[in-house]
Structure formats: C-alpha cells, structure tokens
Amino acid sequence: MAANLEDTLVSVWRQVMVENSKVVQLDGRTFPVRQTSRSKFREVDFQFDGETLRGLEQNPKTKSRWAQLAREGKKIMQFLGDGKYLGVVVDGQIKIYGA
C-alpha cells in the first residue's frame, strides 16, 4: 500500500509506464488507463487522500526539458491535481514541484 504522495505517484508511473498495465491498482481500487483522444498518450485519473489526480504520459514533441528527456528514451509521467502540475516521475525518480 502506498503510504504517501511520492510513493503513490511512483507506483502509478511504474504500473503505466513500465508494466504497461491497462488499469492502475491503488489501495484495493482500480483506475482505468486511457489514451488521450488526439495524441494517444496514456493517462489515468486516480484518487489520493480524497483528491482526484491525473497522471499523463509526457509528450516528447513539446519544447520542455521533460520532452527532451522523453525524446532521449526516458519514461516520464506528469502528475496534475486541481488543474495544477504537482510533480513528475522520470525513470522512477520523483520531483515534486514547489518542494
């Protein structure tokens, strides 16, 4: 069981980006992994501490530093909550924004 935000985000990243799961399992609940309609990137909405969060696979075609890393083959997932970016997981390493 993921005990904190960081562990939860890494768990979601691993299930989607490494294990290629069709569903994410957290605390006995399952959340379906979808593809975005236009670009076909993987995304998943899930619950953490009563909040709905979204994990979104990094688009390598943008101009961000994260996109550059994705173009280099890194597995990257951005995480959002309440319309704001919360953090990113890159090859299993987490960075929480504003921390």
Residue 8 contacts residue 31 (beta carbons within 8 Å) = no
Percent of the chain with pLDDT over 70: 96
Domain residue limits at 31 = 5-96
Number of separate domains in the chain: 1
Q: What is the DSSP string of 77-97?
A: EEEEETTEEEEEEETTEEEET
53: which residues sit within 8 A by CB, 6+ positions away?
Answer: 45, 46, 47, 79, 80, 81, 86
- pLDDT tens-digit series, residues 30-51: 999 999 888 899 999 999 999 9
Nearest 5°: the CA angle 19, 67, 65 is 125
